[in-house]
Amino acid sequence: MKQFAINVISLSLLLVFFGCGNNKQTTPVVDEPVARFSIEELLDPTINPDISIVNKKDVRAFYQSKDFTPVWSMQDSLLAEADSLIQFIYNSPFYGLFPDTYHAREIKAALESKKADQLIALDVLLTDSFISLWEHLKYGRKNPAHAKDSLEDVPIENAIRENNVVRYLKSREPQNEEYKYLKAFLSGMLHKREHDHVVVIADTIQTLFSNLERWRWDAPFPDRYIFVNVPSYTMKVIDKNENVLESKVIVGKPETPTHRITSLIERFTIYPYWHIPRKIAVGEMLPVIQKDTSYIRKNNLDVLDRNGNLLKPSQVKWKTFHEDYFPVILRQREGADNSLGVIKFQFKNPYAIYLHDTNAKRLFREDYRALSHGCVRVEKARDLAYYLVQDDSILCTPDDLTQYLEIKHRMDIDIVNPISIFIRYFTAEANADTLKIYEDLYKMDGEN
């Protein structure tokens, strides 16, 4: 596990790194007071002037509701709130965002122009940028699950009228402590001088950008939940903001990753079967079985037909099986030698992933623990099971669970108080004093 601490220091070079600077805006002086085109013409795709609008439909609908009159300027001057928005755009790296996403270069060019049509273009660019910032600060730039807000929910006019564009935008940020600490470290990003040159830790900045982005993908978590962070190989149980249980975990290999999942654990199984996924059965086990059928006995495997009926391994024509023809199901019997260990926690998800114990506990001593086929192996699986039944006086008390584990029979146990589970991918974690950076196991940081 790669992790290190970075002390919070100066923020002076963050903007320079992203080429956005920290220039104070000035109200443009218009030498040519007559614009060549109106806002309506500017937004007409048949005229198509040299302007790039991201939220084309919303921007046009907004100005249509305003009879295509400017909102960020009056006569030949920018309003103060336009200056505030422009500064926010230039300062957007402090929020883990990229200025050019919000027309930073086009805005700069428009500000340097002395033509009235550039003031018209600037008005449209600012509206487009506000809409994008409104979305990105709350939901992220690349949220895989978010549907865009309605234009009616974007308070452009209110923000301008109340002279508080920045407050409106900041109100969209996540409010959890982890996000705030990561943002603080980004603002104070480490730098040093070598041979009179400033060296910025670009990889760490990229990591922080990616992790701030991922925090925006989540709504506030409930009071009680299980949180698995894949890159840190940890599982935590959080109850009313308190970490009541923490465990090492083993996660999916890069070629079989553990996916981002939000679900609910409603039951767990003690001494479970392991129904071996077809990909593993065909790709890994079949070649071994074809060489030596004793592998089936040595690994406590059952062979089932497609209807779930037990077959005698000696009567199966293994040599005829291949990737496209595998008409059986392999199931590992329950017991301490089962690959799932003695406890499996089920929750709905499209990847057939679950949390479970393991019979290979030595692997928890390894630093690199991306070793599974996608499921999450939990070192303290028994502790988690006891936690889930601690308040249960109806279905299964802790004493009941102890007896069931001693009996060593397969059993499904329903949980009286189901618990949410969040499997996430954060390569950076922070508190007030320390920033930890973890290996980007699945090479996802560059994607955000």
List, for residues 23-66, the tens digit of each pLDDT value. 444 455 555 555 667 888 888 877 765 678 999 999 999 999 99
What is the percentage of the chain residues whose pLDDT exceeds 90? Answer: 73
Question: The tokens of 4 are what?
Answer: 């290190």
Phi–psi pair at 82, nearest 5 degrees: -65, -45
Cβ atoms 231, 425 nearer than 8 A: yes
Residue 198 has pLDDT above 80, yes or no: no
Going by C-alpha positions, the residue among 171, 251, 183, 169 that lies closest to residue 213 is: 183
Cβ atoms 331, 340 nearer than 8 A: no
Instruction: Report the 10 Å Cβ neighbour count for 209.
Output: 22
Query: According to the model, what pLDDT value does residue 16 have?
Result: 45
Give 122's Cβ-side CA count (13 Å radius). 30
Going by C-alpha positions, the residue among 271, 270, 273, 272 that lies closest to residue 396 is: 270
The amino acid that residue 259 corresponds to is H
Query: According to the model, what pLDDT value does residue 193 have?
Result: 43
Cβ atoms 382, 343 nearer than 8 A: yes
Query: According to the model, what pLDDT value does residue 45 have?
Result: 74
Question: The tokens of 361 are what?
Answer: 């506990």
Residue 5 has pLDDT above 70, yes or no: no
Instruction: Report the 10 Å Cβ neighbour count for 337.
Output: 12
Cβ atoms 374, 354 nearer than 8 A: no
Going by C-alpha positions, the residue among 190, 220, 226, 227 that lies closest to residue 205 is: 190
The amino acid that residue 42 corresponds to is L
Of 44-53, 146-155, 294-303, 312-321, the least confident: 44-53
Per-residue pLDDT tens for 393-440? 788 999 999 999 999 999 999 999 999 999 999 999 999 999 999 999
Query: According to the model, what pLDDT value does residue 33 have?
Result: 55
Cβ atoms 304, 329 nearer than 8 A: yes
Cβ atoms 394, 369 nearer than 8 A: no
**Measured between alpha carbons, how far is 140 from 4 in angstroms, rounded to an integer?**
26
Phi–psi pair at 382, nearest 5 degrees: -65, -40
Residue 147 has pLDDT above 80, yes or no: no
* Over residues 370-392, mean pLDDT: 96
| 3-state percent breakdown (helix, strand, coil) of the chain, nearest 5 | 35, 20, 45
**Measured between alpha carbons, how far is 132 from 446 in angstroms, rounded to an integer?**
21
> Alpha carbon of 297 to those of 309, 395, 415: distances in Å?
17, 36, 34
**Measured between alpha carbons, how far is 406 from 12 in angstroms, rounded to an integer?**
62
The amino acid that residue 360 corresponds to is A
The structure tokens 């496209």 sit at: 324
Beta strands 370-372 and 355-356: pairing type? Answer: unpaired
Per-residue pLDDT tens for 273-307? 999 999 999 999 999 999 999 999 999 999 999 99
Instruction: Report the 10 Å Cβ neighbour count for 129.
Output: 25
Query: According to the model, what pLDDT value does residue 192 have?
Result: 45
Query: According to the model, what pLDDT value does residue 44 have?
Result: 83
Going by C-alpha positions, the residue among 94, 164, 126 that lies closest to residue 28 is: 126
Question: The tokens of 153 are what?
Answer: 């929910």
